C-alpha cells in the first residue's frame, strides 16, 4: 500500500503558516519589550544584522536538508543526516536535531502559555483597575515557585499544539494559520 504524502491544502494556507512561522512568538512578544527596556533601537541593529547573516542562511540550510530528506522518505534529522553520509556517527549526531526541536517546542509552549494567561486575565477582567506597571509586575513574577498557573497554561498549550499537529498540514497547521494570522493582524489594528 502506497503511503499518502502530506500536502498543503491551499497556497493561502501555506503563505499564512509561513508568515506565522516568520513572526514567531519569541520575536513578537519578547524582543521588542527587551529592546525598549534596554536602550531601544541600539539592540535592534545587531538583531537585524544577525538575522541577515545567520538567520536567513540557517533557514535555507534547514529547508534544503528537509527537502533532501523528504525526497528520500526521511522525515527526522537522524535519518536525513544518515542518508547524506553512511558513516554511523552521523545518525547519532542527527539525534541532537530532535533534542533541539524538543527544547524549542518547550520554550514556545511557555511563551504560548504566557500569552494564553494574558488573554485569560484580560477576558476575566482580573487586570481591571490595575496600572501598566502592576500588570507588568504580575508577568515579571509569572514563574514564581508558588504559582501553578504557568504549569496549567503550559499543559493546555502542549495539549493544543499536539492536537493541532496530529491533524497534519492541511487539517491542522493550515486551518489554525488561516484563523490565527488574520486574528493577529486584526488585534494589532
Domain contains 163: yes
Q: Are 117 and 142 in contact (CB under 8 A)?
A: yes
Domain contains 135: yes
Place of cell 528537509: 66
Domain contains 77: no
CA–CA dist 146, 26 (Å, integer):
25
Q: Rounded mean pLDDT of 31-60?
A: 76
**Per-residue confidence (pLDDT) for residue 156, from 0 to 100:** 94
CA–CA dist 52, 58 (Å, integer):
10
Q: Rounded mean pLDDT of 10-25?
A: 74
Place of cell 496600572: 131
CA–CA dist 4, 158 (Å, integer):
27
Intra-chain end-to-end CA distance of the chain, in Å? 50
Instruction: Look at residue 94 and tell me whether its pLDDT is greater than 60.
Output: yes
Domain contains 80: no
- What the block records as the C-alpha cell of 72 is 528520500
Domain contains 71: no
Domain contains 45: no
Domain contains 156: yes
CA–CA dist 18, 73 (Å, integer):
23
Q: Are 106 and 112 in contact (CB under 8 A)?
A: no
CA–CA dist 81, 86 (Å, integer):
9
Domain contains 95: yes
Look up the domain containing 173 and give its range. Answer: 11-39+88-188
Closest CA to 157 of 113, 108, 107: 113
pLDDT tens-digit readout, 38-48? 777 677 778 77
User: 61 pLDDT band (50/70/90 cuts)?
Assistant: confident
Query: Domain tally for the chain?
Result: 1
Q: Report the percentage of the chain scoring pLDDT > 70.
A: 87
CB atoms within 10 A of CB 64: 10
3-class DSSP state of 29: helix
Query: Residue 2 — left, alpha, or beta (φ > 0 → left; ψ -120 to 50 → alpha)?
Result: beta
pLDDT tens-digit readout, 105-149? 888 888 888 888 888 988 999 888 888 888 888 877 777 656 788
Three-state SS across 102-118? Answer: HHHHHHHHHHHHHHHHH
Amino acid at each position: 500500500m502506497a503511503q499518502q504524502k502530506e500536502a498543503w491544502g491551499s497556497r493561502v494556507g501555506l503563505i499564512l503558516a509561513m508568515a506565522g512561522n516568520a513572526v514567531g512568538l519569541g520575536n513578537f512578544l519578547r524582543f521588542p519589550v527587551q529592546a525598549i527596556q534596554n536602550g531601544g533601537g541600539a539592540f535592534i541593529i545587531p538583531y537585524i544584522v544577525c538575522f541577515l547573516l545567520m538567520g536567513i542562511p540557517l533557514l535555507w540550510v534547514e529547508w534544503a536538508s528537509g527537502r533532501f530528506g523528504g525526497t528520500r522518505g526521511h522525515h527526522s534529522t537522524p535519518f536525513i543526516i544518515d542518508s547524506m553520509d553512511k558513516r554511523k556517527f552521523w545518525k547519532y549526531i542527527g539525534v541532537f536535531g530532535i533534542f533541539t526541536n524538543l527544547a524549542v517546542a518547550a520554550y514556545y509552549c511557555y511563551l504560548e502559555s504566557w500569552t494564553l494567561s494574558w488573554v485569560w486575565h484580560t477576558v476575566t477582567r482580573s487586570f481591571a483597575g490595575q496600572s501598566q506597571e502592576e500588570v507588568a509586575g504580575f508577568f515579571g513574577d509569572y514563574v514564581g515557585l508558588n504559582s501553578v498557573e504557568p504549569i496549567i497554561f503550559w499543559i493546555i498549550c502542549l495539549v493544543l499544539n499536539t492536537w493541532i499537529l496530529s491533524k497534519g498540514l492541511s487539517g491542522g497547521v493550515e486551518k489554525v494559520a488561516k484563523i490565527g494570522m488574520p486574528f493577529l493582524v486584526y488585534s494589532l489594528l
